[in-house]
Amino acid sequence: MKLPFKFYVLRCLSEQMTPCSYEDLLPLVDKAYPRERQVSPKTLRTHMEAFCAVGAAKVADAFEKDGDIIMKYQITDYGKSLLKYVKDKGETAT
């Protein structure tokens, strides 16, 4: 069974060694969920904002680039604790 999309995004964030933007995660998510309509910059940005709202992630850096605000996210300890519900092979724990 494939990992729920939001959990996969959170897991990708946890595997990054440095803070990253949702645009950095897009190729990783797109590779795991090819041809999925929900794999888009807008959806990833929304998920990252939701993770920040519940405390699973935080904004580690923000800067302007070409007139856009780029935010770099980092997983929190709470976000890491949520991953205990996920097995290593990308399946949900039962």
Q: Which of 69, 94, 66, 86 lies closest to 15, judged by CA?
A: 86
Say if 91 falls within a structural domain.
no
pLDDT in tens, 51-84: 999 999 999 999 998 888 899 999 999 999 999 8
Say if 12 falls within a structural domain.
yes
Cα–Cα distance, 67 to 69 (Å, whole number): 7
Say if 94 falls within a structural domain.
no
User: pTM here?
Assistant: 0.82
Say if 27 falls within a structural domain.
yes
Say if 40 falls within a structural domain.
yes
Percent of the chain with pLDDT over 90: 56
CA distances to 3, 16, 29, 59 from 20, rounded to whole Å, are: 21, 7, 13, 9
The domain that holds 24 is classified in CATH as 1.10.10.10
Q: What one-letter code names the amino acid at 58?
A: K
Structural domain harbouring 73: 5-85
Say if 92 falls within a structural domain.
no
Enter the DSSP assignment of 16.
-
Q: Which of 34, 27, 33 lies closest to 6, judged by CA?
A: 33
Domain count within the chain: 1
Say if 51 falls within a structural domain.
yes
pLDDT in tens, 11-20: 999 999 999 9
